[in-house]
A and B are shown apart, each in its own frame.
Chain A
Amino acid sequence: MAETTWRPASARGAGGATATTRAWRVWSSAAIVTAVVLAVLVVPPVVNLDEQAVHLADKLLPPSWEHPFGTDDVGRDLLVRCVYGLRVSLLVGIVAAVVATVVGTAVGALAAACGGWVDRIVMRLVDVFASVPHLLLGIFIVAMFRPGVWPVVISVGLTHWLSTARIVRAEVLSLRSRPYVDAAISGGASRWRVTVRHLLPGVLPQAGLAAVLMVPHAIWHESALSFLGLGLPTHQASLGTLVQGARSSLLAGDWWPTLFPGLFIIVPTLAIAGLAGAWRERINPRRRSELML
């Protein structure tokens, strides 16, 4: 008799992935994120290398035991530059995601809690912001400041709160019609108290998830801005400036200055997104994990 394997639909995840591959994905993501966090927190103080030290005699060395990622066009060790760059990019990504989430949560909660014309005006403004491409608006904002970390954080933060505002508004609107809000009103609670005590705590898991999902996106934006020469100053290692500095070498056939920073952009951000996707499936099992990057 022919054996047919049958799996319940509940064992299938994104795109028909089984529970096993999903678990594997979560654990590998967790391992990568842990490694990244250890690398950026522990390595720089312990190794204590000068990532900006120039050794012109060692320029453009291919990967070797001494320089696992090779060296760049002024002889700086790329492994060290990548770790420092990841540190800067991760910091920018996290702070920008927090800024975006705080702004988005505040705007979304305000719109939903006030309702009426406040809601309509605020959400139309959100639509206007959303109709301009993120990157264009981001470029416009960084162009107003001198190059540095904070303009990039502000630029990425201020262009990415829109989706969070929409998510939070929808969530607050659904919570607002619960009987426990009626009970609170009847118990004398002010609008402010209802929002802070009952509505905001209810949307925090969603907002937190949005923040984590935002981190990879913010890192990509930082890289894009720096790659365009508008973000961080070129001597400061970030994943974007590293890829930008490597462009000319690539044309000369030196692949390592592009490959390794590129991998440092892609692998950690995918790992963070993988973890966030798993978290989302836990708190909201209906939505399958598409990478919301």
Chain B
Amino acid sequence: MLELRSVTAGYDRRDPVVRDVHLTVAPGEAVGLLGPSGCGKSTLARVAALLHRPDRGQVVIDGEVARGWRHRAPRAQRTAFGVVFQQPRLSADPRLTLTQLIAEPLRATGRAAEVPGRVADLARTVGLGDDLLARRPHEVSDGQLQRACLARALVLDPRWLICDEMTAMLDASTTAALVAAVEGYRARTGAGLLAVGHDKVLLERWCDRTVHWDELSGDAAADRTT
């Protein structure tokens, strides 16, 4: 169970972009989070993945309250999340080849021996040909790069996947391929998913449950009850 309890977060304490938000994702559940751009859903996704420290509130991962964020989070807790970002160009180090990109988490966690096998496996899963793997980010398309980023997110077998507008920059066929790859992984491992986006049709078909941004915050919940 991944729980966000009355999370308030942002980049300026006086003016948080996320106010008092509650959200839970049950084990194995796929939750879609819908909202207009700029509403703070990406910030919430980063809080959930322990990449952004909230001003207030708690993130509870399988009953364990997160105490640290970013590097201060224990490695086991950080790597429990596979994160895919909206813009593949910015989320790939321009100096690494796609193979190195996918293998980086394995090397960072001292599992370099598994690199050849895992990379070949995942490249097949996300549909990347061998010829592409030796290239650098500027030599492939956005869609191909996003496939590699998804492979990187899956390489440590995370229990939770956070997809922040994963397919916003991509065409329909790549979107279908990536969603299929995520669903294949979830079917195999039972991982939970938090998919953030503004494409209602996509999220409603992809996820078990979709919630709208406005339903999450305490204020709005209070408004509805009155």
Within the assembled complex, what's the spacing in Å between the Cα atoms of A216 and B39? 51
Point out the residues of chain A lying under 8 angstroms from B153, CB to CB: 183, 186
Cα distance A184–B51 when bound, in Å? 10
**Would you call A178 and B90 a contact (CB within 8 A)?**
yes
Name A residues whose Cβ lies closer than 8 Å to a Cβ of B.
178-180, 182-191, 193-194, 197-198, 201-202
- Pair A180/B93 contact, Cβ less than 8 Å: yes
Judging by beta carbons under 8 Å apart, are B71 and A180 in contact? no
Of chain A, the residue at the smallest CB distance from B81 is: A186
- Tell me the number of A-to-B contacts counted with CB atoms below 8 Å: 69
Beta-carbon contact of B79 and A180 below 8 Å: no
On chain B, which size bracket covers the interface?
20 to 34
A179 to B94, alpha carbons, bound, how many Å?
A: 12
For A183, the chain B residues whose CB sits under 8 A away are: 83, 85, 91-92, 149, 152-153
Minimum Cβ distance to chain A for residue B73 (Å): 8
Q: In the docked arrangement, what's the CA distance between A201 and B95, Å?
A: 8
Distance of A179 Cα from B70 Cα, bound (Å): 12
Is there a chain A Cβ closer than 8 Å to B20's Cβ?
Answer: no
Q: Which residues of B sit under 8 angstroms from A187, Cβ to Cβ? A: 79, 104-105, 108-109, 152, 155-156
Q: What residues of B have a CB within 8 angstroms of the CB of A179 in the complex?
A: 85, 87, 90-91
Candidates A188, A191, A202; contact of B78 at CB < 8 Å? A188
- Asked if A184 meets B104 with Cβ closer than 8 Å, knowing A178-B90, A179-B85, A179-B90, the reply is yes
**Residues of chain B in range 84-104 having any CB-CB distance to chain A below 8 Å:** 85, 87, 90-93, 95, 104
Query: B51 is contacted by which of A185, A190, A193, A197 (Cβ under 8 Å)?
Result: A185
Q: A178-B90, A179-B91, A180-B93 are in contact. Are A188 and B108 (CB under 8 A)?
A: yes
25 contacts between A and B (CB under 8 A): A179-B87, A179-B91, A180-B90, A180-B92, A182-B46, A182-B83, A183-B83, A183-B85, A183-B149, A183-B152, A184-B93, A184-B104, A185-B51, A185-B70, A186-B50, A186-B78, A187-B79, A188-B75, A188-B108, A188-B156, A189-B108, A190-B75, A197-B93, A201-B95, A202-B95
